[in-house]
A and B are shown apart, each in its own frame.
Chain A
Amino acid sequence: MSAVGKLEQAGHRVGETLEDVVDEAHAQAEHAETSTGLDHRKLVMWIFIASETIFFAALMATYLVYRGHTPHEEGLGHLSVPVASFNTFILLASSLTMVLSLQAIEAGKRGRMIVLLILTALFGLAFLGGQAFEYNELLKEGISIDTNLFGATFFTLTGFHGTHVAVGILWITMLIIRALRGGITEHNHLAVELGGLYWHFVDLVWVVLFTIIYLI
Chain B
Amino acid sequence: MEHGHAVSNPKTDPGDFVAEEKRIEKAQPNYIAVFVILGVLTAIEVGITTLFPDKTVGTVPILLFLTVAKGLLVILFYMHLKFDNRIYSIFFGAGILALAVPFVISMIFLMSPPQLISARGGTEGGGGGGEARPTPNPNAGPPITVKIGATEFQFTPDALTANSGQVVRVELTNTGSVEHNFVVADKPASQDPQPWVTRDGKLIAKAQAGTTGKGGFTAPASGDYVFYCNVPGHAEAGMHGIFSVK
B46 pairs with A215, CB closer than 8 A: yes
Q: Is A181 interfacial (CB 8 A cutoff)? A: no
B39 pairs with A92, CB closer than 8 A: yes
Bound together, the chains give a CA A145 to CA B96 distance in angstroms of 28
Secondary structure call for the B interface: helix
Bound together, the chains give a CA A15 to CA B128 distance in angstroms of 65
Of the listed stretches A45-53, A122-130, A157-165, A168-176, chain B binds A45-53
A73 pairs with B79, CB closer than 8 A: no
B window 99-131: CB within 8 A of A: 99-101, 103-104, 107-108, 111, 113, 116-117, 120
* Chain A proximity of B185: nearest CB distance (Å): 11
Of the listed stretches B151-159, B189-197, B210-218, chain A binds B210-218
Q: Is B147 interfacial (CB 8 A cutoff)? A: no
Q: Which residues of A contact B238 (CB under 8 A)?
A: none
When each residue 107-151 of chain A gets 1 if its CB lies under 8 Å from chain B and 0 otherwise, what string results? 000000000000000000000000000000000111000010000
- With A95-B74, A207-B71 as known contacts, state yes or no: A77 contacts B216, CB within 8 Å: yes
Interface residues on A, range: 35 or more
Specify which of A36, A39, A65, A95 is in contact with B116 (CB 8 Å cutoff): A65
* Chain B proximity of A1: nearest CB distance (Å): 39
Secondary structure call for the A interface: helix
* Chain A proximity of B230: nearest CB distance (Å): 9
Q: Is B64 interfacial (CB 8 A cutoff)? A: yes
B42 pairs with A53, CB closer than 8 A: no
Q: Which residues of B contact A34 (CB under 8 A)?
A: 14-15
B15 pairs with A33, CB closer than 8 A: yes
Q: Which residues of A contact B49 (CB under 8 A)?
A: 81, 214-215
Specify which of A49, A81, A95, A211 is in contact with B67 (CB 8 Å cutoff): A211
Which of A38, A58, A77 is the most central at the interface, judged by chain B CB atoms within 10 Å of its CB?
A: A38
Q: Which residues of B contact A17 (CB under 8 A)?
A: none
A window 53-106: CB within 8 A of B: 53-54, 56-58, 60-62, 64-66, 68-69, 71-74, 77-78, 81, 85, 88-89, 92-93, 95-96, 98-100, 103, 106
Interface set of A (CB-CB < 8 Å, partner B): 30-39, 42-43, 46-47, 49-51, 53-54, 56-58, 60-62, 64-66, 68-69, 71-74, 77-78, 81, 85, 88-89, 92-93, 95-96, 98-100, 103, 106, 140-142, 147, 187-188, 196-197, 200-201, 203-204, 207-208, 210-211, 214-216
Q: List 15 A-B contacts (CB under 8 A).
A: A30-B1, A32-B15, A36-B87, A38-B85, A38-B87, A38-B88, A50-B91, A73-B215, A74-B216, A187-B1, A196-B78, A204-B75, A207-B67, A210-B45, A215-B46
3 nearest A-B residue pairs (beta carbon): A73-B216, A33-B15, A50-B95
